[in-house]
Amino acid sequence: MSAATEASLQAVSQALAHLTDPEIPVVSLSELGILRAVREGADGVPEVVITPTYSGCPAMGQIADDILVALRDAGLPGRVVTQLAPAWTTDWMSTAAKEKLRAYGIAPPQGGSEPATTPGVLRFSRHAARPASVTCPHCGSRNTTRIAPFGSTACKAQHRCLDCLEPFDHFKPY
């Protein structure tokens, strides 16, 4: 890769650094692991690779639009490429993202998932694993209960703290 190409890709990365998830505005796309790569396309045009948190995520159109606007505003060429495999996993979230979620009132995923290491391999589970209790992001209690399998978005579940009585979303581990 030429120095000019490397500088161009770095400029694209810098132009996108401030972009946040439209549903969780305190966490950047990079911190969530949605922004997978900035690379040179076969035709030399920079490509921004994004992976949805789950198939059918309604925020992906807005994310792609935000990326294109940020590139246009910076006077940079580029296009968005959506990559579905490997599937997004909460393991791609940075530690900073998990702490920002907690501070925002969303319980971050607990534990880790085990993404498929072999391309094309799918794993199915009869029952989705979930922790026995989720730590309340408001008071820190583990005396919580899940009240709905889906929260404000499909990637979150709705919980309630039995100590402070506050409801909260829990970002599901994938």
User: What radius of gyration do the chain's Cα atoms show?
Assistant: 18
Look at residue 1 and tell me whether its pLDDT is greater than 70. Answer: no
Q: How far is 100 from 35, CA to CA, in rounded Å?
A: 17
Band of pLDDT at residue 47, cut at 50, 70 and 90: very high
Strand boundaries in 31-141, DSSP class E:
35-40, 46-50, 79-82, 106-107
Please identify which residue in the block is written with the tokens 């950047």.
28
Look at residue 169 and tell me whether its pLDDT is greater than 70. Answer: yes
Q: pLDDT by residue (tens digit) across 131-155?
A: 568 999 999 999 999 999 998 888 8
Look at residue 130 and tell me whether its pLDDT is greater than 60. Answer: no
Quick one: average pLDDT of 56-68? 94
Quick one: average pLDDT of 81-91? 94
Q: Residue 37 forms beta bridges with which residues?
A: 49
Q: Residue 156 forms beta bridges with which residues?
A: 171
Q: pTM here?
A: 0.80
Band of pLDDT at residue 113, cut at 50, 70 and 90: very low
Across the chain, mean pLDDT equals 88
Quick one: average pLDDT of 91-109? 95
Q: What is the DSSP track for 37-70?
A: EEEE-TTS-EEEEE--SSTT-TTHHHHHHHHHHH
Q: Sketch out the chain's domains with CATH numbers.
A: 3-82 (3.30.300.130), 103-171 (no CATH)
